[in-house]
Structure formats: C-alpha cells, structure tokens
Amino acid sequence: MATANKTPVLSVEHVTMRFGGLTAVSDLTFEAYPNEITALIGPNGAGKTTVFNCITGFYKPTEGKIALRHSDGKEFLLERMDDFRISQHARVARTFQNIRLFSGMTVLENLMVAQHNKLMLASGYTIAGILGSGHYRRAEKAAIDLCKSWLEKVRLIDRADDPAGDLPYGDQRRLEIARAMCTEPRLLCLDEPAAGLNPRESEELNKLLRAIRSENDVSILLIEHDMSVVMGISDHIVVLDYGQKISDGDPNHVKTDPAVIRAYLGVDEEEEEKDALAAKAVAEALGDKA
C-alpha cells in the first residue's frame, strides 16, 4: 500500500468496548491516513457506531488506545478526553446517523454555533462582546464569511435564513456535514452520510466529500451501507463483524476478501467451496454499483 509509510492521522489500537456482558467491539486495531477517506463497513450490529462513539468521546472504551495526530505533530489520546474537548482541541468533528441539527435555529445559526469556541474567545468570554467590542464584530463577520463559503459548497446559500428543520432530508444531511466542517476539523467522522439519499443525491455527496478532502487539511472516516458511496470514494476500507475486524485494505482487496463475503452473505461452513463462486458474484455486484 502506498499509504503504509505515512504516519496515520488516527490510530485505534486494541480497542475493546463492553456494555455489561456484551462486547460490542473487541480488540479492534486500525489506522486512518492523512487526507484519505477511510470507510468503516460491516453488517448491522457490527459495532461501527460504537467505534465512532469511542473516537468522538461519547463512549469511553473499556480497553485500548485511540491516538490522533495533527499534521503539525501534536498528538492527542482521545480515550482520555471529554467529548467536547475532542472536538475543541483534537479537532474531530462528527455527524450523526439520525440527523441532529438545531432544528429551531436557522441554517446560518447552525453554522455559527459550530464556531462557538473561536467566537467565544473573540468575544472575550462574552464580556467584550456585551460591551460591543470591534474585535468581536470583526470576528463575527469572518465567521459569517466562513459560513457563507460552506453554504455555497453544499449549495444551501439560498436557504441560509430558513430554519434547519424546514429543509428536505438530503439538504439536512449536507448541512450537518457543513456544520461539522465549520469547526475546522482534522478528522471528519460521518455516520452514514448517504442514508436515505436517492442515487443522484448520493452521487452529489461523493463529489462533496472528494472536494472536502482535496481542499482541506482533513481526513474522513465514514460509516456507510451504500456501497456505491463506499466503493466510489474510499481509499481504505475497514470491515467489522461482531465487533471484530475481519478485513482491512483498499476497495479492491476488500471486495474480493472471502471473509467479507461470508459476513455479508452468511455462507455456511460446509459450503466453503461455493465461496469462490459467491465471491465472484458479489465482486461483480459491487463493481457494478461502483
């Protein structure tokens, strides 16, 4: 792999997450590389969202280490940080499987909230802001400009003053990505960004994600079921099943990996010999979609 000699932006090492007696993720190790799109796939209940929640601090992993490195060499141990500090300092942003926008606030306000920490500092922790300091006003203007540029990228500039809850589903998905990007992250975690999108919208999402990756200093980690998205844009795919990694590599490697096919199609042990045939069929199917 061409990426093997690069320093990973995110390394998940031996992470285990147990909920009481249930082991949702067990001894998971994988890496994500700078400026790449890494996809985390697997059947339902494989533990993908749990991994996400561990990375973004919403869960504390029972065991293991999660390290994030910035391009300037700073390193953060995410399993020791609070969720909001992960976003604030380690610069990991995320979206949610079930969209979590501030539905009663306008599209623009949603993006302004995402720049909270920066603006808070500019407003002198509210004190200078309340006295109407020019410094804060300039910072706010800059923040609005950043919002505008993201709204243009996700084609929502015309709806900037509408409430976020009024947007159609596909627009809400894109707005959530824009909101995450307004925190200026180094790692963007997208939890099923294509869920509920039609093929045209999925295609658009692919373009958007590619643009985000090429224009910003950001790596993308995504969970996705839509294979046209996964195969179309991922540089690197990690496959999970029952909380364990069963395959790891570039799309072509994963597509033909018998373990992956077994996990997705549930082939019996006795029918191992038919695997090769099934693998071919799946490879064709996935290939078509891609």
Partner 1 sequence: MTAHDVAAPKTQGYDWTAIIKDLLGTALVSLLIMVPMVAYKSVITQYSLVLISRWFEVFVILGLILATRLAMHLFVWNRAPSPIHASAKPAGPAKATLADRIGPWVFPALVAFAVALPFIFHFERRPIDLGIYILTYVMLAWGLNIVVGLAGLLDLGYVAFYAVGAYAYALLSTVYFPYWFGDGIVPWAFYITLPIAGLLAACWGVILGFPVLRLRGDYLAIVTLAFGEIIRLVLINWFSFTNGPQGIEVPKATFFGLPFKAGPGGFADFFGIQHDRIYYYMFLYYVILMLALLTYFVTNRLRRLPIGRAWEALREDEIACRSLGINTTNTKLTAFAIGAMFGGFAGCFFATRQGFVSPESFVFIESAIILAIVVLGGLGSQIGIVFAAIAIMGSFEMFRELTVFQDYLPEGTDPVHFRMLAVGLAMVLMMRFRPRGFVTRRQPTVFLKERKAVSGDLVKEGHG
Interaction site with partner 1 (CB under 8 A): 56, 58, 83-88, 93-94, 96, 100-106, 108-109, 112-117, 119-120, 123, 126, 129-130, 132, 136, 140, 144, 148, 157, 160-163, 165-166, 179-180, 183
- The minimum distance between CB 40 and partner 1, in angstroms, equals 17
- The minimum distance between CB 240 and partner 1, in angstroms, equals 22
- The minimum distance between CB 108 and partner 1, in angstroms, equals 6
* Closest residue by Cα to residue 160 from 111, 110, 107, 114: 107
Smaller CB distance to partner 1: residue 138 or 280?
Answer: 138
**Residue 235 zone, left/alpha/beta (φ > 0; ψ -120 to 50; rest):** alpha
Smaller CB distance to partner 1: residue 30 or 136?
Answer: 136
Edge to edge, the sheet with strand 92-94 lists 92-94, 187-191, 219-223, 37-41, 236-241, 244-249
Smaller CB distance to partner 1: residue 115 or 247?
Answer: 115
Smaller CB distance to partner 1: residue 113 or 290?
Answer: 113
- The minimum distance between CB 217 and partner 1, in angstroms, equals 17
Smaller CB distance to partner 1: residue 147 or 233?
Answer: 147
CA dihedral for 213, 166, 148, 141, sign (positive or negative): negative
- Here the tokens at position 200 are 């045209």
Helix (H, G, I), strand (E, B) or coil at 56: coil
Smaller CB distance to partner 1: residue 173 or 262?
Answer: 173
- The minimum distance between CB 133 and partner 1, in angstroms, equals 11
- The minimum distance between CB 286 and partner 1, in angstroms, equals 31
d(CA 232, CA 234): 6
**Residue 96 zone, left/alpha/beta (φ > 0; ψ -120 to 50; rest):** beta
d(CA 210, CA 11): 22
Check if the beta carbon of residue 285 is closer than 8 Å to that of residue 228: no
